[in-house]
Each structure stands twice: as C-alpha cells, then as structure tokens.
Amino acid sequence: VNIPVLSNDREMMERANQAADKVMERACALDGVVSGEHGIGVTKFKYLDSQVIDEFNDYRKRIDPEGFMNPGKLIDSDIINKVFTPSFNLLELEARILKHGSLSHLALNIANCVRCGKCKPLCPVFYPAKNMFFHPRNKNLAIGALIEALLYITQRTQSTGFKMLKNLEEIADHCTICHRCLEKCPVNIDSGKIAIEERTILKNMKFKHTPLSTRMTLKYLGTKNEPLNKVLRPSLLGAGGCLQRIGVRLATPFSFIKPLKESRTFQLLQTPVSNTGIHTLRSFLPATHKNQAILFEPKGQAKSTVFYFPGCGSERMFSKISMASLFLLLSNNHRVILPPSYLCCGYPLKVNAQKKEFDRIFLENIIILTQIRDMFHDLKFDACIVSCGTCMESLNELGAPSVFDCDTKDISGYILENHPDISLDNAYLYHAPCHDSLKASGIVQLARHGISVQSIPHCCSEAGTLALSRPDISHAMFLRKQKAIELSKPGTKSEIGPSQKTKILTNCPSCIQGLGRQPTLEPIHLAEELALLTGGEKWSQLFKEQVKNCEVITF
C-alpha cells in the first residue's frame, strides 16, 4: 500500500503508519498475504506469518550456511528500530542538524513534490542523449537522498563537516533558472529558486566552485565605476574574446582525443564566442554621474513617456541592442528617460550565489529608480522598457511597476503593440529565450505585422554565465540546439545563399551570444531588426543624430 503524505508533517506520517497497519490486518483477515513490491523486508516484517518466516529461515540456512546474503534480514523482529529510515519527518535531532546546515528550508521546499514528472519536458538541461537527467523531479529525488545520507552520516559519526554536501553542486549546476518547470508543477515548486538556494548554501559552506572567468565577468557586470569599465571591457570582452576564438582554432585539430575533449577547460574551446564590438551605448552619450539620468525628447509631439533600463547585456556587451531600442522609441515619438550609466539588474550575481553583492545592487537600483520617479513626478510613465528577459524579472522583483505606476514591457513588443501601421513581409528563424520578455507572445505579435517566423526549440546553451562555469553542460545543450537547427525547414527569405548565414531573431542579449556560437546562424536581436526594417541600413547614423540633443538631469 502506498499512502501519499506530506513528509514534513510528523502527525500525518504517524496516521499513515496506523492506516497501513489496518490495511495489512484486513488483508490477512480476508485470507490474503502480505508481500512486497520491491521485495519482502524491513517495513513489512511485522505483518508476515511467523510460520512462513520460520520456513524461509530454514531454507536460508541450507543454501547460505555462512550467512553472507543480507545477514539478519527477516530474523530480528525489532529490526525497524535499528535501521536508518527516511528523515523528512524532521524529528527534533534531525531538525536541528538541518537547521545548522541551512538545509531545513530547502528540505521543506521540495517535500511536497508529487514526483509527477510534468516538469521533465520543459527543462532545458534534461537531455538523455547526452546523459543529462537532472530535470526538477529527479533533482528533488537526488536532494532528498543526499539529505538523508547526510543525516545518517552526521548522526552515526557525530561529524558536522557536511562534506557530503559537495555532491549538491552537481545538482544545483544543472539549472538555467528559467522557471519553466513552475508552469506545470501541480504543487507550485519553483526549481529555479531552489537551485539559487542550493548554490547559496554551497557558497556559505565554501563548497561552491566559481571559475576565474566567471568571477571576472561578475566583477565587470557588478561595477559602475567608469575608469574600471574602460579597463575591464577591452580586456575581458575584447582581448579575452579574441584569445578564446584563437584557442578554438588551435584546439580543433586535437578534438579527437577523448580525455582532452571531456575536460572542462577544453570544452570552453569547443565553439567561438561572438565579437561584441568595441563600443558601449555610453560611447555615444554624454557622461553621467551616479545621480544623473538622461532625458531624450523626440522631434515630434511625445506620444508617451517611458523609462528604459538597458541592462548590462544591451548596454555594455551588445550595445547595438540598446541603440536600436532608443532609435525605435524616439523615431516613434516616445519620450525616453535613461538611468545612470552601467546599471546591472543584479541577476547574474543572484544566480551565482553572490548574495552580498546582489543585495547591494538591488538596494541601489531601488533607490535610483525611486529618485528618478520623484524627479519626474510631473510626468505620467506609460511603460518601463527592457530589452532583456532577466532584467524584466529583476525589475518586477524590485517593484519597478509600482515605482513608475506602469507595466514592464519588452521594447519590441511595445513598438509592435503601439504602432499597428508597421507592416513587413519578411520571414526568419526564431528563438524564444528561456527568460522571455515577450512572455511567449513573440510569434503571434510578429505574425500580426506580416513577419513570419519558424521557431527553433531548445535553449541556446549560453544561459548567462553557465557557458563559462559549466562548459560541459552548456556544450551538450549547444549540440542539441545545433541538431534542431539542422532539422529546421530551409528556405527562409532571410537565407540568401548556401554560403551565407541564416538570420535568427531573438529578444535576449545572452541568447545572441549563445546562438552566435552556431556556425550557420546570424543571430540578431528583434529590436535591431525592427530598427533596420523601419529605419534602413543607416539607422545607426540616425540614432547618433537623435541623441545629440539629450539633456542630463541631476536627481
């Protein structure tokens, strides 16, 4: 008999045991027998007929006189009190152990998992063809087994080192924090948040491994210092990217060596990273201090006022995205307010368990956004615009919609929604990001304007800093995406010739990096393509003219 319970509810566990007793007694009263789904053993010993047990033990003595096979099994009637049993009922001692290791909250978060597996087809890192089985249900099972093993070792050896938790890192790393599993979970378990919690526990216990490349990237994204940015950008994105691309060419002839190919260092050199260019958005704008915003007025009568948060991916890495976003807004007569330079939403730090730095940036962003709103209190904001899904998630979390009294919206979605006259006859491949700022409406919105897209499934494989921290996971995801691209129908209008790359649209800066690793693709942010289609080849020159008359406002 299998009785579903909330395993952190001790009273319910006890009632379930009593119910099992009644079921077994009734089965025997009806001349039935007690057997076991996975063998007859510890938990059902007390229900077995004594004559059957005696006959069984006589048989064992004949075939196994030395007692090698499962010694003591089905002999000691008190065995149930001598073995370690599942520990999610949080007995007093175990609760203290879990609290000491910061595991109690984690255990409670996964205790309600009903093991239905609805999360499996949605999980980007579930890829059996490459031996990747860590979808949320399996991770919950693994965490449960790991915690039970830790409790067993701690109680048996009186060890408080919790070295067993090192194994938690493999579970925590297999997650892109996309939250898609939450969509189908019947008990509302968000495995993305659980993965962040696991990484934080590992960081606090000094079990978290963060490669130098990831640490340097986070340092770059976390700083607003102008001189430091001018040093870090050319060294990390410029020289670092160039060296990586050279390394890819040098490593390719040795890819047949299996031990070398399976190393993480070598897997960093499997695919070349995109060239991010030499300019940031701020190269074309006046310098600002941390208490200064920039106001852009359109040439015509302003239809609306929007606050645009470019984020580090659009402002510092692929600056053409933020340039295109401003061009689209100003060309369509929207007044734009831009925050101080080099703000990061903090999401990369959050998912890498850099809690102290994330909390600092999070608070600073709340203060800055609130002060900007107070400065422009005479204006009604129509939207808080982003060009990145993780920025949307972070701004919503810090309360930007309440601060500006308007919704957070994707730049492309906002333009397409407010300008129905845009009509284009084009066709492309399309990639929906894991963190989709268009909220899965991209294909529909584009179709309304005559833009036909063919969606290519699966994650782009970049997943923020995952490609740096775990290139082994990322490369397996890359191969799956590559296969999906090969299986896609050819003949899109953007595909000019066999030697040229096919355009693929997306609305995420990180996905631009991930898709850029694919040799047959030319990834382009949807905002950039809309700027090209509505402003022509010289839209970037028009943008530079538009922003010349901007005004720096001190708040």
- With 0-12 CB in 10 A as exposed, 13-18 as middle and 19+ as buried, what is 509? buried
In sequence order, the β-bridge partners of residue 453 are 428
- Residues 415 and 163: their CA atoms lie apart, in Å, by 53
Residue 347, token pair as written in the block:
């999401």
Q: Where are the alpha helices (DSSP H) in 158-275?
A: 168-173, 181-184, 191-204, 212-222, 226-232, 240-251, 258-261, 264-267
Cα separation values, 469 from 22, 237, 465, Å: 53, 16, 6
pLDDT by residue (tens digit) across 370-411?
999 999 999 999 999 999 999 999 999 999 999 999 999 999
pTM of the entire predicted model: 0.81
The single residue listed with the structure tokens 């060009």 is 387
User: 3-state SS of 257-303?
Assistant: CHHHHCCHHHHCCCCCCCCCCCCCHHHHCCCCCCCEEEEECCCCCCC
CA distance 254 to 87: 49
Distance CA(408)–CA(384), nearest Å, equals 5
Q: What's the CA gap between 199 and 197, in Å, rounded?
A: 5
Among 37-46, 174-183, 493-502, the minimum mean pLDDT is found in 493-502
- Phi/psi of residue 216, nearest 5 degrees: -65, -40
Q: What is the pLDDT of residues 358-379, one digit of tens each?
A: 999 999 999 999 999 999 999 9
Q: Going by C-beta distance under 8 Å and a sequence separation of 6 or more, which residues neighbour residue 467?
A: 461, 474, 513, 514
Give the orientation angle of helix 526-535 with respect to helix 319-331, to 10 degrees: 50
Percent of the chain residues past pLDDT 90, beyond the cut? 58
Query: Would you place residue 111 in the very low, low, confident or very high pLDDT band (cuts 50, 70, 90)?
Result: confident
pLDDT of residue 7: 63
Mean per-residue pLDDT of the chain: 88
User: Tokens at residue 481, please?
Assistant: 């995406």
- Neighbour tally for 458: CB within 10 Å: 17
Task: Report yes or no: 205 and 100 within 8 Å, Cβ to Cβ.
Answer: no
pLDDT of 241 above 80: yes
Taken as a whole, the chain contains a residue count of 555
- Residue 514 pLDDT > 70, yes or no? yes
Q: Is the pLDDT of residue 412 over 80?
A: yes
User: Phi-psi category of 190—alpha, beta or left, where left has phi over 0 and alpha has psi -120 to 50?
Assistant: beta
User: Which among 12-21, 244-253, 276-285, 287-296 has the top mean pLDDT?
Assistant: 287-296
pLDDT at 88: 45
pLDDT tens digits, one per residue of 269-295:
889 998 888 889 999 999 999 999 999
pLDDT > 70 in the chain, percent: 94
Both tokens of residue 247? 């390394």
**What would the pLDDT profile of 71-93 be if each residue is shown by its tens digit?**
777 777 776 666 555 444 456 77
Residue 36: per-residue pLDDT: 61
State residue 497's pLDDT score: 45
Closest CA to 16 of 27, 8, 5: 5
Contact, 350 vs 373, CB < 8 A?
no
Contact 436, 551 (CB under 8 A): no
Distance CA 491, CA 505 (A): 16
For residue range 304-313, list pLDDT tens digits in order: 999 999 999 9
Q: Outline where 376-426 has alpha helix (H).
A: 389-398, 400-404, 411-418
Distance CA 274, CA 271 (A): 10
